[in-house]
Amino acid sequence: MVDVFEEVDERLRSDHYARLAQRVLPWALAFAAIVAAVTAAAWGYQSYRDHGAQQASQAYADGEQALAQGDTKTAFSKFAQAEKAPVAIYRSLAQMQEGAIRLNAGDTAQAVSYFDAAAKDAPDQAIGDAARLKSALALLDTASLADLEARLTPIAAPTSPVHALAREALAMARLKAGKVDEAKSDLRLLVNGLDTPDDVRQRAQAVQVLVEDGSISSLAPTVKAATALPIPPPSPPQQMQGPGAGQ
Cα 205 from Cα 54, distance rounded (Å): 45
Letter string b/e over residues 45-55, b meaning 16 or more CB atoms within 10 A of that residue's CB:
eeeebbebbeb
Question: Could you tell me how far CA 34 lies from the centroid of its own chain?
Answer: 34
Dihedral angle, C-alpha 64, 66, 71, 72, nearest 10 ° = -30
pLDDT value, residue 42: 42
Single-letter amino acid, residue 5? F
pLDDT in tens, 51-75: 557 888 888 999 999 999 999 999 9
How far is 225 from 55, CA to CA, in rounded Å? 34
Stretches where the chain sits below pLDDT 50 are: 1-2, 4-5, 8, 12, 28-33, 35-49, 236-247
Residue 218: its pLDDT value, please?
Answer: 57
Q: Which residues, 6+ apart, have CB-to-CB distance to 57 below 8 Å?
A: 82, 90, 234, 236, 237
Determine phi and psi for 194, rounding to 5 degrees: -70, -25
| 76, 104 contact by CB (below 8 A) | no
Helices (H), the chain: 2-68, 72-83, 88-104, 108-121, 125-138, 145-152, 163-176, 180-192, 198-213, 220-225
The per-residue pLDDT for 233 is 53
What pLDDT score was predicted for residue 5?
42
Cβ atoms of 210 and 216 within 8 Å: the answer is yes
Model confidence pLDDT, tens digit, residues 23-49: 655 554 444 445 444 444 444 434 444
pLDDT at 178: 87
